Structure 1
């Protein structure tokens, strides 16, 4: 059972009575009924790629892990209706390929797409690199099927774009991280496969120039920008250092890089020429230092190779205290400047490492400690909490959030209490009590314990 009791970064460990591998929704329902009868906690698990401690059980060992990897069938693909029916254990890359096979696109894309599963993507409302154009996972699903905490099966597998017949129940489960039920299948949205794309990595001298470039690109390619990724120089250097077969993409070293991709029906050469023309003015003004535009699929993959391997590189470098913040996109420069100054004042041994989604305001701001410095840190939990509050307080002051796309899991419960209004927490806890009165679904995740009910 060991592989299912520890997260992939080897930071969160748990125990369990057993690991169950159901192969059907009916089997999931039977397991849940049995656990409900005996009040045994259930920890749903997909590809176990969570970075928030949400996909492994707790240390008490009194519950079971329910892993959905055997439920990995693509049940139907309808190109005319632009929809796909899949089981929750399907790996994201498998779904992407099935869509491409019928000349369609499923746009969700992230570094763990070769191992993360659709059920986990839905349970955490995953984001990824295409949110700017296509939205989060919540925006990419038409219907779901879920097993409730009492073992009842709710079939909401509808392929409708419009349906105002009551509450939109699927959205209760999307983003709930298995605390309200177990998603077992979903109807996903597909899109026409773009005929051409242009991918570029652009070096800029400042975070303000990166934000300005993002605005220029969206204005110059209205509706066509599918990715707008921000990479700090410190992050790029880590990928080059730790990830094999990573070539330095530009001869010019810069403080910041913007990885962008435009996709549409226009000829790739025409879009490339438009991008070259757009960059002329900022290059002349010094707001862009250098750029490379991919001229082949191989070059495009080399650029995305950098972005998709940042987490692996960070794990190898040291102890990265990672933050999944979001602020309004226009406030990204202000956030970066404030966070950099605060970190330099309070934690002089920490190096800022930044990667994120420039177009939607979501940054993964990492305070990177070397292995040696972290080993010498006397009170690691206190240091982690202090760094977290430093970064999260800045995001909150700018109208942002401490969790944009990774979820809450077990490690952000304190942040829920610190940053969520009490009335909002009370509503969530009321939903939890109503749907899961026994409290057996992924306990200790997402929500702090509710206060005792009034006598």
Structure 2
């Protein structure tokens, strides 16, 4: 158990930092995006340098006071929200926003942990390069949080998760030591991989302060299509066919359900939908190629072959970059439609690709035994990551289902375990899913995780209560 941050301790911390580095919380700052939980903080530290971060961590370590790192506050599993135990010091990276360097010839950019994801994307674009990590919250989420949760997003099929996009890390360890691992090397076999230990650890093993990130050449030509499919099984066959035609040119392959389109029509009617008759299932596909390849020709060939095979019945290929962006806007607004409807329980899951088509209807059948609910299953089909969200029946409010919310989550996650999947594909564990990790996690893995935590953070001050409980 961490110790309370006494007034005397806060005075010492304030004196050790430059003026103005310690402040009170702002209204709504420590509220989770879904509005269900409110965090606490003894104070909020806002350092500008890695040395100042080290000072905060060292003093907290000496006093046994908990530390909760805070990036953009967009996390959905309460990794940034401490609502139990002694109020911690919240360590905000809001002032560590610099792009330290861009190396176009190395396809590399070095950014501080507080840099907004969209700003990193823009800095890469200015250098004629692409930083491919893309999330719905990219205008507010920060690089440190992206790495701490090993964020996924829309382009994982082609470019990988945040882990695959990072070559070096600078971080402050739980005793205040600075880990100078900010190397721009693709090969560095010098012992344990501390970088990959910190990525995905959600601030429980240290505070990431900067990262060396991979860039890529920008595709010379892009294209996109939305294709109507009869089922998720057909969508998976379509994916295999598309990979045979376009190979690594496929940047995104997203499953969209008719339920999601219905929610958009109800709550965000200004979003233009591509079909007059709403399909039960469709796929959004985005291509980016260079050289002699023609992505529009690839999509036309794919549609022709898939239509003949009975895998698609209709489709729209973007006729301009503006229309391609319309398709992206539709896909990226689906979570907003979900939010306005109000879910009973939302689930970020991954399932082996070959079993997704069976999982979706079996989950709906099991959930129907709990009550009259609607399921919006959508997401990153290309990498097996579904957002499998459960909603009230039309005309009812989620508050009417509060008594079954926990059971809804249990039904979904039990089925995920039966299908050899993961209850957290890209959002992390945080505090919201720490109990799920204990229930579904491999015992050997959990034992190793606890041993690592005890070795690096024996006082348990780093993001207490997140990932591992107690």
TM over 0.5: yes
SS of the residue 2:382 aligns to: coil
User: More deviation in 149-158 or 244-253?
Assistant: 244-253
SS of the residue 1:311 aligns to: helix
Among 329, 341, 357, which residue is 1:333 paired with?
357
1:289 matches 2:318: no
**Could you say which residue in structure 2 is the equivalent of 1:202?**
227
Q: Under a length normalisation based on structure 1, what TM-score does the superposition of the two structures give? A: 0.94
Q: Which runs of 5+ in 1 are unaligned?
A: 450-455
Q: Tell me: CA distance 1:378–1:24, structure 2 relative to 1, closer, same or farther (3 Å).
A: closer
SS of the residue 1:184 aligns to: strand
Structure-2 separation of matches of 1:432 and 1:132? 31
Alpha-carbon displacement from aligned partner over 1:133-179 (angstroms, at most 9, x marks no partner): 11000000000001011111111000001111111110110000000
Structure-1 separation of matches of 2:353 and 2:373? 25
Alpha-carbon displacement from aligned partner over 1:110-155 (angstroms, at most 9, x marks no partner): 1011110000000000001111111000000000001011111111
CA contact (8 A) 2:255 2:282 kept: yes
Among 438, 441, 452, which residue is 1:420 paired with?
441
CA contact (8 A) 2:99 2:115 kept: yes
Among 314, 333, 338, which residue is 1:314 paired with?
338
1:93 matches 2:118: yes
Structure-1 separation of matches of 2:340 and 2:118? 24
Q: CA deviation at 1:201?
A: 0.9
**Could you say which residue in structure 2 is the equivalent of 1:364?**
387
Among 361, 375, 392, which residue is 2:399 paired with?
375
Q: CA deviation at 1:448?
A: 2.5
Q: RMSD between aligned alpha carbons?
A: 1.5
Q: Which runs of 5+ in 2 are unaligned?
A: 1-24
SS of the residue 1:355 aligns to: strand
Alpha-carbon displacement from aligned partner over 1:400-428 (angstroms, at most 9, x marks no partner): 11111000011111111111122211100
CA contact (8 A) 1:14 1:61 kept: no
CA contact (8 A) 1:126 1:136 kept: yes
Aligned length: 444
Q: CA deviation at 1:57?
A: 2.1
CA contact (8 A) 1:231 1:257 kept: yes
**Could you say which residue in structure 2 is the equivalent of 1:241?**
266
Among 353, 356, 360, which residue is 2:376 paired with?
353
**Could you say which residue in structure 1 is the equivalent of 2:133?**
108
Structure-1 separation of matches of 2:339 and 2:237? 31
Q: CA deviation at 1:356?
A: 1.2
Q: Tell me: CA distance 1:304–1:352, structure 2 relative to 1, closer, same or farther (3 Å).
A: same
SS of the residue 1:376 aligns to: helix
Structure-2 separation of matches of 1:267 and 1:169? 41
Alpha-carbon displacement from aligned partner over 1:196-246 (angstroms, at most 9, x marks no partner): 111111111211111111111111111111111111111122123323630
1:170 matches 2:191: no
Structure-2 separation of matches of 1:144 and 1:408? 21
Q: Under a length normalisation based on structure 2, what TM-score does the superposition of the two structures give? A: 0.91
1:436 matches 2:457: yes
Structure-2 separation of matches of 1:53 and 1:147? 22
